[in-house]
C-alpha cells in the first residue's frame, strides 16, 4: 500500500532525487559535536512556532504590551509554557549557535569549499542576536525599557553617524510607542525573513557540498619540526 502510494506520488512529482539527496546522502564518520547545527535548527523551529503563537495575544502598544504578556502567562491555557519555551529558547539559540560556530572553527570547516556556508552562518549569528535585542523590549516592563535605553544609547557613540543611528533605532529622541512598534515589526517580520533566506542557503549548502570530515594529522613521512630536538 505504502509502496503504491509512493509510486503514485513519484510518477506525478518525481521527488525521489530530493529524498535521496536529503536522507540517503553519504556523510563521513563524525561525532556528537556535529549535532550542534541540528540542535540550533531544532531551537530555531521552536522559536518560530512559539513566536507565532505568542503573536495571537501580544499587543505591541505601551498601554497594552505589559498586560498582554501577563495575560498570556497567567490566564491562557499553557500560555506560561509557550512563553517559557520562547524565553529560554532565545538564550539556548544564542548558546547553541555559538557552540556550533566554535565547532566549525576548531575543525577548520569554514575553509574551501564552505566559505559561503560560513558567511551565511555569520549572518545567522547576527540575526540571532538581533532577535534577542528586539525581543527583550517587547514585555515593556522596567527591565525591558531600561535595557533598551542603554542598548540603543550605545549606538549614539558610533563616530559621525551615532545620532542618526540612535534616532533610527528609537524612532525619535526617546523610547516611545514608535520604538515598540519598530522593534516588534523588526522582530516578527524583518528578522524572520532574513533568517529564512540565510538558513535556506546555509542548509542547501550543507546538503550540496556535504559535511566536512573531522580533521586528521596529515599523512606524510615528514615529522613536525620542534625546537628542542
Min dist. Cβ of residue 38 to ligand HEM (A)? 5
Gap between the Cα atoms of 66 and 58, Å rounded:
9
Min dist. Cβ of residue 36 to ligand HEM (A)? 5
Residue number with CB closer to ligand HEM (33 or 59): 33
In the complex, which residues of this chain contact ligand HEM (CB under 6 A)?
34, 36-38, 40-41, 44, 97, 100-101, 104, 109-110, 114, 117-118, 121-122, 124-125, 128, 199, 202, 206, 211-212
Residue number with CB closer to ligand HEM (70 or 102): 102
Min dist. Cβ of residue 191 to ligand HEM (A)? 11
Three cell numbers written together for 170:
528609537
Three cell numbers written together for 15:
521527488
Min dist. Cβ of residue 44 to ligand HEM (A)? 5
Q: 29: left (phi > 0), else alpha (psi -120 to 50), else beta?
A: beta
Gap between the Cα atoms of 141 and 147, Å rounded:
10
Residue number with CB closer to ligand HEM (72 or 109): 109
The string of DSSP letters for 165-195 reads HHHHHHTSSS--HHHHHHHHHIIIIIHHHHH
Amino acid at each position: 500500500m505504502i509502496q503504491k502510494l509512493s509510486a503514485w506520488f513519484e510518477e506525478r512529482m518525481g521527488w525521489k532525487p530530493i529524498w535521496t539527496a536529503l536522507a540517503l546522502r553519504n556523510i563521513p564518520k563524525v561525532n556528537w559535536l556535529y549535532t550542534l547545527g541540528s540542535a540550533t535548527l531544532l531551537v530555531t523551529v521552536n522559536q518560530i512556532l512559539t513566536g507565532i503563537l505568542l503573536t495571537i495575544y501580544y499587543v505591541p502598544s505601551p498601554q497594552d504590551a505589559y498586560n498582554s504578556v501577563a495575560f498570556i502567562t497567567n490566564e491562557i491555557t499553557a500560555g506560561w509554557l509557550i512563553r517559557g519555551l520562547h524565553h529560554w529558547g532565545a538564550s539556548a539559540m544564542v548558546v547553541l549557535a555559538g557552540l556550533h560556530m566554535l565547532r566549525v572553527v576548531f575543525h577548520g570547516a569554514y575553509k574551501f569549499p564552505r566559505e559561503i556556508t560560513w558567511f551565511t552562518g555569520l549572518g545567522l549569528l547576527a540575526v540571532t542576536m538581533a532577535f534577542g535585542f528586539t525581543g527583550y523590549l517587547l514585555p515593556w516592563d522596567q527591565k525591558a525599557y531600561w535595557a533598551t535605553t542603554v542598548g540603543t544609547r550605545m549606538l549614539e557613540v558610533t563616530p559621525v553617524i551615532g545620532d542618526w543611528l540612535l534616532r533610527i533605532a528609537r524612532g525619535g529622541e526617546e523610547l516611545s510607542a514608535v520604538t515598540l512598534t519598530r522593534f516588534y515589526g523588526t522582530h516578527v517580520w524583518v528578522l524572520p525573513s532574513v533568517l529564512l533566506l540565510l538558513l535556506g542557503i546555509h542548509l542547501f549548502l550543507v546538503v550540496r557540498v556535504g559535511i566536512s570530515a573531522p580533521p586528521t594529522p596529515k599523512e606524510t613521512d615528514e615529522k613536525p619540526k620542534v625546537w628542542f630536538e
